[in-house]
Chain A
Amino acid sequence: MMTPSRRRKARIAETTARMLLGSMALIVVGIALFVVGYIVYRGAGALDWQFLTDVPRNRGREGGIFPVVIGTVWVVGGTAAFALPVGILAGVYLSEYAPKGFATRAVRLAITNMAGVPSIVYGLFGLAAFVLLAGIGRSILAAALTLACMTLPVVITATEEALRQIPQDLRQASLALGATKFRMIRTVVLPAAAPGIITGSILGLARAAGETAPILFTGAVFQMRRIPDSPLSQFMALPYHIYTQVTSVPEWNPDLVWGTALVLVGGVSLVSVAAATWRAFQRRKIAW
């Protein structure tokens, strides 16, 4: 039996722990709210139609960010074009075809590990492999390939995760109707897993859109007069624009830089939230 004093002690410990842990959670919430609030507070003023459609002037201290946005869209599009097909195929292979042995385990481990490689190292890799060795030069293509390598593990993991959710008896039903394994995957498993795969991939791509380090040496430029017109041209990008403004432009215009940050964070979160909501909606529709 617990003595009253022990029970009181337990209650005090309970309350203290709850408060302490709660305050940690509160700190996190506070930081997050501050981050959002501050970006909006500083950036909202710059946000208008001209800002979004004009080119940067006076080294970015005036004007808008139109080519910067376009550059980011190009690079992310290119990243998707490489990372999605390769990543989805690899994910399907790993979860449906790969023998369950040591080799597969090692590959999985390598993939999770790939996700932890610092982005600047990807930048170095992109410089050495795509820009120089493959001779692509600093360009949208090189940057997209670099970011694709970085996004691949996310796409692969999302694909595997989504495929794991597809019930076994659905696969068996397809096989029992005389479908080959390939047909089963193509007609039943992949369509059912699509929401998970797409959403996971979009989240990965959204993150790629915000990366600076990998595009530093692979194609991003501080300023260019025209909109990129081919995959081999160089480009401006939102994160790189913020970085160069702050570090290389004396008397940078905080309003415009914060506006750029708001566009970047807003875009990334909007796309992520939309993707996550869509997946939740699809899940509710297809409850196993």
Chain B
Amino acid sequence: MVTLAAADARAHGAPVAAEQEDLPAEGSFSLRDVSVAYGRDRVIEGVSMDIPPHAVTALIGPSGCGKSTLLRCLNRMNDELGNVRVGGHITLDGQDITGKAIDPVDLRMRVGQVFQRPNPFPMTIFDNVVYGPRTQGIRGRDELQALVEESLRSAALWEEVKKSLKKHAFELSGGQQQRLCIARALATKPEVILMDEPASALDPISTQQIEDTIASLKDDVTIVIVTHNMQQAARISDRTAFMLRESLEEPAHLIEVGETRKMFTNPDDARTESYITGRFG
């Protein structure tokens, strides 16, 4: 309940910096025996792991092993797909977020998402950023203005667009659009941001900028990122989880999760090592 109230207060822009100190780990997930099936196709099974707050956790694994699927469990986006069944328990800051325990709409204000392809809404930069806050009912012009600046600054886009907030978002470059999407996700003041291959559609320079942004966001939010780029995972994440679907008949499992440095230098599992060193996947 404490967290809920805090999230509520933050959502309405009240100063919470002082409170933040005594809160128990904010934006931490705990997954217990999570499984997902699309219809009859069991995609992942038995995933148990903790995602610590204010850190970057990378999900890696070969294509089709269910990384995106697992990510979507964390903000209940799987609900939108129809024939999905999710089993096991997931808590966010100790609160159950599966089943009827929580309204997915409320959850998604606390857990933002950035997608693979930049997907700004067809409206101005300003309107994109304030979309979430407006959804939460924030209407005050000054308050929205402040949120826009703060979010765009955090996403390292402010300097580039501060003079053209009324420009259509589609006039930005791909990398700028993706940072706009990050700003858009930040504007609701989430505890967590999920990123599904956020840089895979971008050029190296834009990728670099996104990575820098992620590094600077760690202090404020928990980040869970899916990536196919091993160097990227090694560069930006604190912890790494490796998933693998060993055959199409079987669901994917979590093979190993731990400190990124350890995973990349001295993994416990031989399969992790071969994947990271590029022997398969």
Q: Which A residues lie at the B interface, using CB under 8 A?
A: 167, 169-170, 172-180, 183, 187-188, 191-192, 285-287
Q: Could you tell me if B136 and A178 are in contact, using CB atoms closer than 8 angstroms?
A: yes
- Which residues of chain A have C-beta atoms less than 8 A from B75's C-beta? 176
Whether, in the assembled complex, B9 has its beta carbon less than 8 Å from a beta carbon of chain A, the answer is no
- Which residues of chain A have C-beta atoms less than 8 A from B38's C-beta? none
Most buried by A among B75, B77, B132, B168: B132
Interface extent on B, as a size class?
20 to 34
- Which residues of chain B have C-beta atoms less than 8 A from A172's C-beta? 77, 80, 113, 115, 119
CA distance A266 to B170 in the complex (A): 36
Most buried by B among A173, A178, A187, A191: A178
- Which residues of chain A have C-beta atoms less than 8 A from B264's C-beta? none
CB distance from A165 to the nearest CB of B (A): 12
- The verdict on A169 contacting B106 (CB below 8 Å), with A176-B112, A177-B184 known, is no
- The verdict on A167 contacting B119 (CB below 8 Å), with A176-B112, A178-B109 known, is yes
- Which residues of chain B have C-beta atoms less than 8 A from A192's C-beta? 121-122
CA distance A183 to B184 in the complex (A): 16
- Which residues of chain B have C-beta atoms less than 8 A from A285's C-beta? 168, 170
Q: Could you tell me if B135 and A177 are in contact, using CB atoms closer than 8 angstroms?
A: yes
CA distance A287 to B105 in the complex (A): 29
Q: Could you tell me if A177 and B131 are in contact, using CB atoms closer than 8 angstroms?
A: yes
Q: Which of B109, B123, B168 contacts A177 (CB 8 A)?
A: B109
CA distance A180 to B109 in the complex (A): 11
Q: Please, could you name 8 A-B residue pairs with CB atoms under 8 Å apart, sorted by A?
A: A173-B184, A176-B113, A177-B188, A178-B107, A178-B108, A178-B188, A285-B168, A286-B170
- Which residues of chain A have C-beta atoms less than 8 A from B106's C-beta? 178
Q: Could you tell me if A191 and B123 are in contact, using CB atoms closer than 8 angstroms?
A: yes
Q: A170-B121, A176-B112 are in contact. List 13 more A-B contacts (CB 8 A).
A: A169-B119, A172-B113, A173-B119, A173-B181, A174-B121, A176-B108, A177-B188, A178-B106, A178-B109, A179-B131, A183-B135, A191-B122, A286-B122
